Amino acid sequence: MIPYLHLWHFSIPTFGLMLWLAAVSGAFLLDRAFRREHIDADAVGMVAVAVVAGIVGAKLWHVLDTPQEFRELGWRVLWDSAGFAWFGGLVFGILALIIQGWQAKIGALRILDLSSTAAAVGYGVGRIGCLLSGDGDYGIPTNLPWGMSFEHGIDPTPPGVRVHPTPLYELAAALLIGWWLWVRGSKPRPTGWIVGEYLILTGLARFFVEFIRRNPPVLWGLSNAQLASVGSVLAGIILIAWAASHKATGPQKASRAVEKAA
């Protein structure tokens, strides 16, 4: 594991480095989506705001989900480099994008459709930071040949114990989801359809990977992340059902709508 990169007198946390790379990847993909839809908007600025909101949401949700850490560490837990909850980042990131989409006259749901590929890939890239830092987001012990040890991570595994490298599984799922959403978004779809698919696919991916992660069950044998995943899938189904009753929006129609609104 490589929690820090030591360059001269500086120690750079790999988690932060990969978070930056995730933001760059997301900004690039969102910009490409804007170009494909002939939309003139600041993709880099939007992603920057969404990333900051996502980090805040992920940390706050983690604190609420693990109150024992707050009792032990106090307010210091908010500045700890480990401890970020996927669902909190998702909710706050979506809210930030909705507000920015409304301000840019793109539309709340339309901006989420356009951002879905970027969100999927960015999440996957960010998971590499979890792997490199060994921050505890790994899985349960395994004897599979690709099992990994995190003895020198931020949250180390016991000596000699190999566990599922779940961040790598999530990276693979995220890249596959991102590719699927990009291909699906190349043709006219009802507004809200693509983000509906994103919520369903990313929710299913997180739901199933939780079975081999070490998060404890909280209700009906499911972890907190799995319950949040069920909510994500249901929200995606509702969005697609709603979108199915509306006409598809193509690139030219979308651009004309933005120009007219401007």
Q: Indicate left, alpha or beta for 66 from its phi (over 0: left) and psi (-120 to 50: alpha).
A: beta
What is the mean pLDDT, run by run of 10 residues, along the chain of 262 residues? Answer: 72 78 90 91 88 80 60 54 63 88 88 92 88 80 89 80 92 96 91 94 94 84 87 95 77 46 42
pTM of the model: 0.79
| Tokens coding 167 | 């961040």
Question: 82: closest CA among 148, 114, 129?
Answer: 129
d(CA 123, CA 126): 5
List all residues 6 or more positions away from 94 whose beta carbon is below 8 Å from its beta carbon. Answer: 112
